[in-house]
Amino acid sequence: MGTLWSARIAGAPPSAREAIQAVLDRVIRQMSNWEADSDISRFNSAPLGQWRDLPDEMMLVLRAGLDVARASDGAFDPAIGRMVDYWGFGPAQGARSEAGPCWRAIELDGPRARRMTDVALDFSGIAKGYAVDAVCHALEDLGCRHFLVEIGGELRGQGVKPDLQPWWVDVEGPPGLGVPTLRIALCGLSVATSGDYRRFRQKDGVRISHSIDPIQGAPIANSVASVTVLHQSAMWADAFATAITVLGPERGMALAERQELPVLMVERAGGQAREHLSSGLRAMLD
């Protein structure tokens, strides 16, 4: 995934590191577009219309991605791999790309899926969150009850620290905007943040965001600097953070309200920061 992971575990058993690495290796083997022989790469190169059986974990992520696509009117799209490549953020840079909605070209039938047009699955907006959840489940299977897991800025906490304090996490604000730090106690809770400052590339002096608007078929060009979403599942928090970022301040916060999500959005407004808090987050802070 091109990022780092960490886990803080109270009373960690000797097998914890091995178990975590096994989970992450499995996720990469199934869902990495950068691995030519991964399940997702083989699916993307299969003939159009051909049904393919997918591993249970990959199918779970695909179904979740399609659910978020429907809920967000396509602002999150798990089938924008061609667009990601075209804009230089995927393994096949410069590939052909057309505007979406791409997700409608994916059909499911039980454990099988197929592509009806030449789209490509890309789970970069959801796989890290899923990996966090999967690592947490593996730790619970080992008998661990108190831990904090982080992968590339997506976190999930369970239980408490050895000193009985919760797993306090400070949400990173966009650099240069002077946003007050949001401190969250993660106990059976996940947090994911999407931001225009985290991953981007320069082209002809213009900063191009890695967040792609699937409908426009181009990097987002709105005023959103960052979106932080809280959810029991890191996978859902990850996907909805992407969708809300793409939708922008008005439509994004409307989605947060419809889904009853605790959300903090930071908007760039004339060189200053403007914060938007969903009613779900306000209720948590009261």
Q: What is the pLDDT of residues 103-129, one digit of tens each?
A: 999 999 999 999 999 999 999 999 999
pLDDT of 111: 95
Interval 31-48 mean pLDDT: 97
pLDDT of 220: 87
pLDDT of 172: 78
pLDDT of 188: 94
pLDDT of 179: 86
Nearest of 88, 79, 113 to residue 214 by alpha carbon: 79
What share of the chain has pLDDT > 70, as a percent? 93
Residue at token pair 């960490």 = 6
Classify strands 182-186 and 212-213 as parallel, antiparallel or unpaired.
unpaired
Nearest of 153, 152, 133 to residue 4 by alpha carbon: 152
pLDDT of 236: 98
Residue type, 140: E
Does 97 score more than 90 pLDDT?
no
pLDDT of 93: 66
Distance CA 97, CA 218 (A): 9
Kindly report the CA angle at 202 between 200 and 206, in degrees rounded to 5? 110
Does 278 score more than 60 pLDDT?
yes
Domains of the chain by start residue, with CATH: 5-115 (1.10.3980.10), 153-285 (3.10.520.10)
Q: Give the number of other CB atoms < 10 A from CB of residue 135.
A: 26
Distance CA 72, CA 64 (A): 12
pLDDT of 175: 79
Task: State the average pLDDT for the chain.
Answer: 92
Tell me the Ramachandran region of residue 48: left when phi exceeds 0, alpha when psi lies from -120 to 50, beta otherwise. Answer: beta
Interval 129-146 mean pLDDT: 98
What is the tens place of the pLDDT at every residue in 176-231? 788 888 999 999 999 999 986 655 555 555 556 678 899 988 888 888 999 999 99
Does 5 score more than 70 pLDDT?
yes
pLDDT of 203: 53
pTM tops 0.85, yes or no: yes
Buried b (16+ CB within 10 A) or exposed e, 153-174: bbbbbbbeeeeeeebebebbbb
Structure tokens at 220: 């987002």
pLDDT of 90: 83
Helix axes 16-31, 127-141, angle to 10 degrees: 150
Does 232 score more than 90 pLDDT?
yes
pLDDT of 249: 96
pLDDT of 81: 94
Distance CA 187, CA 241 (A): 20
* DSSP of 52-68: EE--HHHHHHHHHHHHH
Structure tokens at 168: 């306090």
What share of the chain has pLDDT > 90, as a percent? 76
How many residues are given for the chain?
286
